Amino acid sequence: MATAILEQFINGAMMGSIYVLMALGMVLIYGVMHVLNFAHGVLFMVGGYLTHLFFFSWTGSYPLAILCSMVALAAIGVVLERLVFRALRDNLRMQIVSSLGLILIIQNGVVQIWGPHALQMRPASVETLVKFGQLSFTLQHFVIMGVVAAAVVVLYLFLTHTRLGTAMRATSQAPEAAVVVGIDPNRVYTLTFMIACALAGLGGALLGPLFLIFPQMGDAPMLKALSAIVIGGMGSVPGAIVGGLGIGIVESLSTLVIPTDYRDTITFGVLILMLLIRPWGIFGVRVRGED
Amino acid sequence: MKLSFSTAAAIVILAFGALAPFIFGGQPYILYVLTLALCYTIPAIGVNILYGYTGLVSLGHMGFAGVGAYTTALLMKDVGLPFVPSLFGGMFAAGFLGFLVGIPCLRLRSHYFIIVTLAVGMILYTLFNNLDGLTGGAEGLPGIPRPGNIEIGSFVLDFRSLTGFYVLTFIIAALTFGLQYILVRSDFGRSLSSLRQDESLAAARGVNVFGHKLAAFVLSTAIAGVGGAMKVLFLRAAAPLSFDMHESINLMMMLILGGAGYLVGPVIGAITFIALPEFLRIAAEMRLIFFGFVLLILARFAPRGICGAAEAAYRKLTDKEANVVRYT
């Protein structure tokens, strides 16, 4: 039993790390721009496909392929913010409509380009096994956790110790006041989208080799990340980290007790309960009139 | 007397729908596609009441349609009830679930309500997919019977035939449409619209915000249940994939494409979304990419959809003064 718990804990921490990457991106976009980007899952999926593309047809090196796909996703983020979301600021319904439109375009576009079948890529880190007694994990499990931890630290330092990061936090807290002190909100919004999309790309690039790369691979992480940011508190960065890791670990451990089929039922049930009891989340701050 | 845009469009659409079996009687393919479009029109009308008039976005509506569908299918297949009570059973099941979900969740606003509907839709989907004993799991529920014949004198309406089933679906869609027509012209409907335009103001003027939202939600989920039931009766099989998140998104898309907040919006939307690509022979993926772009353009430039554009053209044509509160 103890080994089973440890195994599920490590698996859960690995999936949780992926959810953290997604949740961080969504929480940044929500916190700074008040846009709920449902298309974040398809960007994650594009990250997986682009890593596959760069790995096989260009660089041949997995880390380099990851970096290239993050850069590409950041560029996609700029395009999305400029062309789609900038004009719809403060228009909640049409932002949702646009993000649904993006899901249709990107998901089916990928099917058109790469076909509906799953792709496989197996860099060395997936082939290498790490053994703990009876248990064995791929090295990729630990690569994912390490890279996500590093990404979280870098993001934290960026948000707290650089001028741009401070500008982002300022815009998120008080947009008008930020303009008064000379911050250009448009630049901040573009930057936010860039970072968030690059994080989604990183997630897809990390998870793709471990499982398969297929057009729906981003759907589940997006929904879990959405649950994570609600449970952690909309707009709260620590909340996204705790929520993401928590969902990953709990849903993994729950498979020891209840059938795997009902894992998602439990996750979304907890999400609904959280919204009913404490809609502003664990770490969020209650804003009157918004919940 | 000049006709308003909504009434004129409604008359044209209803006449077209009623005459379709005579026009396309010899072309089963066209009738098949039109029937499928009608099966989506019914839940789209439900979403129109919720989104178009009340202003609430639901991304889990096909989940409720699924509840209606599975209930009706099980009542007809396993219990052996006739069609009409089964359909009412499905409607009540979906509406009752909407009531249960609505009571706690409608207190949430903006993003939070959308997330809750998404989560409810996902939960319902996992249940359809996994309650093997009840719903048949991922393989679905095959062999759902069609309604029995109706004989009026020497005239027999056979619902197993395509034409017969088209007529049945059309009648039910027309009844739903009529309900929508009565609803939005009633005081109740005007109160719903006031919630969409300014909730605080509506509350200050004495509209019971929660009660109206709940009523709209229950009504809209019940209608979605009827739509889901007609869909599985038509396809003669219920499968979880017919009621997943993407279907719910497609449903919202149809409505926005057609024109949310217009009586004929859901009809135009469903026909454009389902039938037009079939007739233009566009591949399924290309169709969704195309509609994705259409959606982005609509969101940016014409948030009132096809009906919004058509109404503007009609106004110019009949030179009628603009006296309707514009949809925002």
Q: From A195, A122, A183, A187, select the one nearest A154 (Cα to Cα).
A: A195
Give the per-residue pLDDT at B96: 95
Minimum-distance CB partner of B119 among A100, A108, A268: A268
Distances (CA, A) of B183 to B92, B195, B252, B265: 19, 15, 20, 15
pLDDT in tens, B189-237: 888 888 888 888 888 888 888 999 999 999 999 999 999 999 998 888 8
What is the number of structural domains in chain B?
1
Distance of CA A121 to the CA centre of its chain: 21
Contact B112 A104 (CB under 8 A): no
The Cα–Cα gap between B108 and B318 comes to 43
pLDDT at B328 over 80: no
The Cα–Cα gap between B285 and B294 comes to 14
pLDDT at B19 over 60: yes
Domain presence at residue B202:
yes
Q: What is the mean pLDDT of each run of 10 residues along chain A (291 residues)?
A: 86 92 92 88 93 86 90 94 87 86 91 88 81 82 91 92 90 87 89 93 91 88 89 85 91 85 83 83 66 46
pLDDT in tens, B227-239: 999 999 888 888 8
The Cα–Cα gap between B127 and B238 comes to 13
Chain B residues lying within 8 Å of A87, measured CB to CB? 300
> In this predicted complex, what is the ipTM?
0.84
Minimum-distance CB partner of B295 among A88, A101, A230: A101
Task: Tell me the backbone φ, ψ of residue B156, rounded to 5 degrees.
Answer: -110, 125
Question: Is residue A137 helix, strand or coil?
Answer: strand
Stretch among A119-128, A158-167, B122-131, B289-298 having the lowest mean pLDDT: A119-128
Domain presence at residue B323:
no
pLDDT in tens, B139-166: 888 878 777 777 776 677 777 788 888 8
pLDDT band at B323 (very low <50, low <70, confident <90, very high): low
Give the per-residue pLDDT at A261: 80
Cβ(A221)–Cβ(A23) under 8 Å?
Answer: no
pLDDT at B327 over 60: no
The Cα–Cα gap between B83 and B74 comes to 11
CATH of the domain at B23: 1.10.3470
Task: Provide CATH code, domain A2-277.
Answer: 1.10.3470
Contact A226 B288 (CB under 8 A): no
Distance of CA B211 to the CA centre of its chain: 22
Q: A114 exposed, middle or buried (CB, 10 Å; 0-12, 13-18, 19+)?
A: middle
Domain presence at residue B328:
no
Cβ(A3)–Cβ(A212) under 8 Å?
Answer: no
For residue B233, give its domain range. 5-318
Domain presence at residue B288:
yes
Domain presence at residue B174:
yes
Amino acid code (one letter) for A37: N
pLDDT at B317 over 80: no
Domain presence at residue B280:
yes
Chain A residues lying within 8 Å of B118, measured CB to CB? 223, 226
Name the DSSP letter for residue A116.
Answer: S
Q: Tell me the three-class secondary structure of A38-76, residue by residue.
A: CCHHHHHHHHHHHHHHHHHHHHCCHHHHHHHHHHHHHHH
Report, in this order, helix, strand and coil percent for chain A, each rounded to 5. Answer: 75, 5, 20
Amino acid code (one letter) for A272: I
The Cα–Cα gap between A31 and A281 comes to 14
Give the per-residue pLDDT at A291: 46
Stretch among A65-69, B172-176, B307-311 having the lowest mean pLDDT: B307-311
Distances (CA, A) of B298 to A30, B26, B44, B249, B293: 23, 36, 18, 16, 8
Helix or strand (DSSP H, E) at B67: helix B61-74
pLDDT at B25 over 80: no
Domain presence at residue B92:
yes
Minimal-distance CA residue of chain A relative to B51 = A93
The Cα–Cα gap between A79 and A94 comes to 18
Residues 6+ apart with CB under 8 A from B170: B17, B18, B20, B38
Domain presence at residue B324:
no
pLDDT in tens, B50-81: 998 988 888 889 999 999 999 999 998 888 88
pLDDT in tens, B88-97: 999 999 999 9
Q: From B50, B250, B26, B76, select the one nearest A97 (Cα to Cα).
A: B250
Half-sphere exposure of B83 (CA within 13 A, CB side): 19
Minimal-distance CA residue of chain A relative to B116 = A272
